[in-house]
Structure 1
């Protein structure tokens, strides 16, 4: 298991790190604001981002066109606006989860399916909790840590100040944190009966991937969920979470049956289907600005190229 001790603080003296320290201080202040004010400010930040973040706005539009072809342009535009509003609110949720108080959220959280985790915990079996990159993921992960000893996986930050600050914040509630290139430690944690939260829904270049459908569109999908289950013998449990007005709803689904199979592509398609179901429950709270379909099967161009409009739905 990874050492849960706090990481060493990076040096304060390097001028190149000063902006990051000021940014961290500002986020700590934002994390302490009243939750109602955070939501109001977050909605404003999201509206501003919608206007100025041209490339990310375009990526989100392409993603929505691919994933929701049944929506007309007006409905898709509303979903885009809602997604940027939730993106802005999510920034404050991240800061509060890492460095603030979760007390307001604990008063309104609803959790379903904890009995599945309790049963697996009683068996001493490791649990890989699979979710997606939702804007509520940090706060809902913190709320779940009130009930189970949950560890997490994350991508290391390039800036040493943010790496220290975010890891320090997460270790206030998480059992351990593993970087996504520290698979041996994560595997050992699962073999020892640990719980591990994991989000395999982004295009991770350089990793073992297959093309599996996501909203019916071929998406480069890492096979790590299949590999974790095959090597560690852990259960794979879909973790649904969303914000519903002022409430937080956490739902733990039953473990995937007959998982893993011998087919990594089929298993990856099952994981994508579970994440798709999560997205459909709270579509505006998903991170649509990520270019999920940038890598394509041979013969298909990236739909994010400037000379292309939103790509037609793949058959």
Structure 2
């Protein structure tokens, strides 16, 4: 396991290290301690049910998911939108406790063999000591997919966004460290330097590329304009590394996964390659809509000093939801 320094948060760690943040972390640790007393087969469904119920009761989150669904799929019935939102909340809760049950999840991924045409490219790169950029999104459980690849012998690191609460962030990262989950690199100058060294040494790195990026490029995502980061494709081009989409897809039993590694996205330019990834994850979302994190505000229009704004925007495209 590579050494991981504290996240390069530009001073956020010091700023947010309040008594309240510490108490939040202690509450989380207490809840996790109690949850981990339960067998894994009960723990994961329980957290899924809790998150599903919580999302339905926290009006702003539930409303955001419904608005996102109405925005991209306006022909869906209200009942179907509610069904997808409930499934997404359940999947989020399961993924959350699975992260904090990383040792159990790792053992479960021992016998899972990844599939897909991208495996051949990944294997060839490893044999040649070449870097690989693996790209995915907040779908199913990307941690399960990452552990699966690590279990197959690939040196897979990941770039992550540090949380605002530095204590919870440390708890989150520590869990992965303890089970040999591959090196994690915090977003920021220091983390990017670590990521580049990892890649130049022939490692593979995972980047999640399905969130709003204010400094990105507008391109379609599920048929609607969304600001999208180009960094994954730019990194692949810079290092002449293959850009390979991959996914951890939750099985109907809610506890197991299949891991699919798609073909390498052909090298061209960063925008075209990123658009190709968008089409890849769109297909996954359309096939399993309840496994994507609809809670994210993917389509908000607030970039370029407000130039993305215009009258009559759908609520999903507003910078923030208006109070009713």
Partner of 2:280: 274
| Alignment match, 1:251 | 260
- 1:299 CA drift (Å): 4.6
Residue matched to 1:303: 315
User: 1:134 matched to which residue of 2?
Assistant: 139
Is residue 167 of structure 1 aligned with residue 173 of structure 2? Answer: yes
**How big is the shift at 1:93?**
1.6
CA distance 1:191–1:43, shift in 2 (3 Å): closer
* Gap regions ≥5 residues in structure 1: 310-315
Structure 1 residues 91 and 299 mapped into 2: Cα distance closer, same or farther (>3 Å)? closer
Separation in 1 of the partners of 2:252 and 2:47?
14
Q: For the structure 1 residues 199 and 252, does the alpha-carbon distance in structure 2 shift closer, same or farther, using more than 3 Å as the test?
A: same
Which whole-Å CA distance do the structure 2 matches of 1:288 and 1:157 have between them?
19
> How far did 1:102 drift?
2.4
Give the secondary-structure state (helix, strand or coil) at the position aligned to 2:101: helix
The match for 1:109 among 103, 109, 112 is 112
* Deviation readout 1:4-33 (Å, 9 max, x if unpaired): 25869x9xx985424412322422442453
Match of 1:289 in 2: 295
The offset of 1:174, in angstroms, is 2.9
CA contact (8 A) 1:211 1:265 kept: no
Match of 2:232 in 1: 225
| Partner Cα distance (1:295, 1:133) in 2 | 20
Q: CA–CA distance in 2 between the matches of 1:122 and 1:278?
A: 30
Q: CA deviation at 1:229?
A: 1.5
Are the equivalent residues in 2 in contact too, given 1:31–1:92 (CA < 8 A)?
Answer: no
State the partner residue of 1:191: 200
CA distance in 2, matches of 1:293, 1:87: 20
Distance of 1:117 and 1:92 partners within structure 2: 29
Distance 2:128 2:74 in 1: 44
Separation in 1, partners of 2:38, 2:156:
27
The structure that is helix-richer by fraction is 2
Instruction: Count residues with an aligned counterpart.
Output: 299
1:83 corresponds to which residue?
88
Counterpart among 265, 270, 275 of residue 271 in structure 2: 265
What's the TM-score, normalizing by structure 1? Answer: 0.84
Cα deviation, residue 184, structure 1:
2.8
